[in-house]
Amino acid sequence: MATISRPLPGAAIPAAKQLRLSDYLRWSVDHKIIGVQYMATAFFFFLFGGALAMMIRWELLTPTLDVMSDGTAYNQLFTMHASIMIFMWIIPMMAGFGNYLVPLMLGAKDMAFPWLNALAFWLIVPAGALMILGYFAGQAEAGWTAYPPLSTIYSLGDGQTFWAFALHLLGISSILGAINFIVTIKNMRPEGMGYFQMPLFCWAILATSIIIVLATPFLAGALTLLILDRVAGTAFFDPSRGGDVLVWQNVFWFYSHPAVYIMVLPGFGILSEVLSVHARKPVFGYRALALSSMAIALLGFTVWAHHMFTSMTPELRIPFMVTSMIIAVPTGIKIFSWLGTLWGGKIHFTPAMLFALGFLSMFVIGGISGVMLAAVPFDIHVHDTYFVVSHLHFVLFGGSVFAIYAGMYHWWPKVTGRMLNANLGKLHFALTYVGFFFTFFPQHIVGMLGMPRRVAVYAPEFQTLNIIISVAAFLLGISTFVLLYAMALSLSNGKRAGANPWRALTLEWATTSPPPTHNFHGDPVPYRDPYGYGTESAFRYLEDVDRRYGVGERDDDKVPVPALRGSGD
């Protein structure tokens, strides 16, 4: 909500740093620049992957193949849609948030290893180039899951090999970033900030980073075997020469299930921050939220074969059902804790809060469908159908992307020094929420009725539902342009934000917007409780931050911040 105080006359406010586009186009070891580089690159790939989704939904308006030239071209669409959304949008975007915010939240000047940080980002550029180059060499077409022998003997283009190399680079980038986060969080917290005094977003990044360093090497192993089978004549996955196709499935999913928590845990961290600030209330159950992130990280390693219920040894289905059911409990704790945070608060319907509320209502559906999928007899029917596509989009879009949007609206003022127009934000939310729900909810139904996934051709009786889904998807696609417009408008002519437009207690707000190169003016002292809203001392702290670092433009004046310095009004 708008800031409510003005600096005392005569107080000297540091000038906010001016951003220059050229700063972001070259190598820099400043975590804030790297963070923006990650986020801007990731957002570009979000648009690319979204365009592919629009092509998929256009094709699925009819039950026959009439948009793409052949089935292979269609298979390439969803292969690249998923690969790009997972590896070039969500994972790097979350890394971008982490990069920008973690040092600031900890009062540090930068990450523990700034040079390594820059390297991790720049690995994404050749990875993205390889993914796109695949189109010129026979693009990958075996799905983002790349099961052999389809992805080995039966994929003759080189695009599948480029895909594997691109994922190798992205995996290295991910691991380097994770090491950086773990060391930064362990070693660079300020005096007085124990683990249980740090913001929940930092807990989320810590849990995510632990998953990354433990799981990603397995993906690297699987990719290496795939590349060797494709180019070096090995037979790891060729049964006719002693290989085994299930080895790929097991090793791939051993990484890829924890990967889904890599994609959603930082979103959980963003939720905690946004809900608390925009409801003006402490997070309910801080310890439970912190420890449940760790529990999810650990338990996430025990469930992988639930992706393989129809291909794995039948006797092992039940143990994986048990572990998959268990992981619902820490996730449920989080949802209830967030509801507890809202209860009794003072809820401001900023775009950030709207997307957080959208997350809560949509992610719960994804969680419920996830528990259903854990039930083996039901999963046998819906595995590899649109029911799974629906579930994954409820948790990845209704979950992660909504959280990313909430985070963008929340931290945009800090990063750019400008506000995003709230009315455009509300329009963006409305279009996204409606478009999202009607795109993905009907997919539960069409999957249960008998429509498999990864097809361009389907039984004619499913056409009506598919048309509804596609039209809603086009609306969802259009909603993205509202955000793009709002971002452009903000950068060119947005209201100046001031240091702490949301009156938040975490340390990233105790500096100008954007922060100076060294992050803080003087030595930052964290407020004793990052979520201590509702107390007199919190009020005084926030007043002090406004006094020291300046407030933004209000609706009733257009005077920019510097002119307030020394003025007596």
Partner 1 sequence: MGVNTNINLNQQEPAGGQSLSVIWIVVAGLGMIFGGILIATITPSIFPQQASAEAVQVDNLFRFMLAVGGAIFLLVVGVLVFVIVRFRARPGDLADGPPIHGNTTLEMVWTIIPAIIVLVLTVYSYQVWVSIRTLQPIHNSVAAVGQRFAWAFNYVITPEDLPASVTLDQLEEPIRAAVTSEAGMNFSSAQLHTWMGQQMQVSLRTEDVNHAFWIPAMRIKQDLLAGRETSISFTPIEAGTYRIICAELCGSGHGNMAGTVGFNDDLQGAWLIVHPDEVTYLREFYEPEAAKVLFPPEDPALRGRQILVGAAYPCATCHVLDDLGWVGNIGPNLNNIGVRAATRVSGLTADQYLRNSIRHPGDYLVPGYSNLMPQFNAVAGEANYMPDTDLDAIVAYLLTQQQ
Site for partner 1 in 274-333 (CB under 8 A): 279-288, 310-311, 314, 317-318, 321-322, 325-326, 328-329, 332-333
**Cα–Cα dist 435/82, whole Å:** 19
Give the residues across from 496 on adjacent strands: 418
Least CB distance from residue 251 to partner 1, whole Å? 15
Helices (H), 375-421: 376-382, 386-395, 402-416
Distances in Å between the Cα of 456 and the Cα atoms of 55, 76, 222, 438, 446 are 11, 11, 29, 20, 14
Q: Is 65 in the site for partner 1 (CB under 8 A)?
A: yes
Region of 13-21, 39-47, 108-116, 367-375 interacting with partner 1 (CB under 8 A) = 367-375
Residue placing its CB nearer to partner 1 in the complex, 127 or 510: 510
Region of 109-117, 399-407, 449-457, 512-520 interacting with partner 1 (CB under 8 A) = 449-457
What number of chain residues touch partner 1 (CB under 8 A)? 99
Q: Is 539 in the site for partner 1 (CB under 8 A)?
A: yes
Residue placing its CB nearer to partner 1 in the complex, 10 or 460: 460
- Tell which residue, 223, 250, 247, 390, has the closest CA to residue 320: 250
Q: Is 72 in the site for partner 1 (CB under 8 A)?
A: yes
Output the CA torsion sign for 218, 116, 102, 429: negative
Least CB distance from residue 99 to partner 1, whole Å? 29
Q: Is 9 in the site for partner 1 (CB under 8 A)?
A: no
Interface positions, 121-150, toward partner 1 (CB under 8 A)? 141-143, 147-150
Residue placing its CB nearer to partner 1 in the complex, 92 or 148: 148
Region of 28-36, 255-263, 415-423, 444-452 interacting with partner 1 (CB under 8 A) = 444-452
Q: Hey, is 69 helix, strand or coil? A: coil
Assign residue 416 a region (left: φ > 0; alpha: ψ between -120 and 50; beta: otherwise).
alpha
Residue placing its CB nearer to partner 1 in the complex, 36 or 382: 382
Is residue 452 within 8 Å of residue 540, measured between CB atoms?
no
Residue placing its CB nearer to partner 1 in the complex, 92 or 447: 447
Furthest CA-CA distance within the chain:
85
Question: Can you read off the two tokens belonging to residue 1?
Answer: 């909500």
Interface positions, 385-404, toward partner 1 (CB under 8 A)? 385
- Tell which residue, 334, 110, 115, 83, has the closest CA to residue 204: 334
**Cα–Cα dist 301/396, whole Å:** 19
Task: Report the residue count for the chain.
Answer: 569
Least CB distance from residue 310 to partner 1, whole Å? 5
Residues near 355 by beta carbon (within 8 Å), at least 6 away in sequence: 274, 402, 403, 405, 406, 409, 429, 432
Secondary structure, 3-state, 20-59: CHHHHCCCCCCHHHHHHHHHHHHHHHHHHHHHHHHHHHHH
Region of 27-35, 124-132, 214-222, 452-460 interacting with partner 1 (CB under 8 A) = 452-460
Residue placing its CB nearer to partner 1 in the complex, 361 or 517: 361
Could you say which of 9, 192, 217, 534 contacts partner 1 (CB under 8 A)? 534
Least CB distance from residue 489 to partner 1, whole Å? 25
Residue placing its CB nearer to partner 1 in the complex, 44 or 336: 336
Q: Is 448 in the site for partner 1 (CB under 8 A)?
A: yes
- Residue 385 is classified by DSSP as B
Could you say which of 115, 136, 195, 336 contacts partner 1 (CB under 8 A)? 336
Angle between helices 402-416 and 351-374 (to 10 degrees): 150
Q: Hey, is 496 helix, strand or coil? A: strand
Question: Can you read off the two tokens belonging to residue 426?
Answer: 């509300």
Over its C-alpha atoms, the chain yields an Rg (Å, rounded) of 24
Residue placing its CB nearer to partner 1 in the complex, 16 or 198: 198
Least CB distance from residue 100 to partner 1, whole Å? 26
Residue placing its CB nearer to partner 1 in the complex, 23 or 244: 244
Q: Is 478 in the site for partner 1 (CB under 8 A)?
A: no
Interface positions, 221-260, toward partner 1 (CB under 8 A)? 239-240, 243-246
Q: Is 380 in the site for partner 1 (CB under 8 A)?
A: yes
Q: What angle do CA 432, 404, 98 make, to 5 degrees?
A: 175
Residues near 193 by beta carbon (within 8 Å), at least 6 away in sequence: 106, 107, 526
Least CB distance from residue 28 to partner 1, whole Å? 38
Residue placing its CB nearer to partner 1 in the complex, 19 or 246: 246
**Cα–Cα dist 488/389, whole Å:** 33
Residue placing its CB nearer to partner 1 in the complex, 249 or 416: 249
Least CB distance from residue 529 to partner 1, whole Å? 8
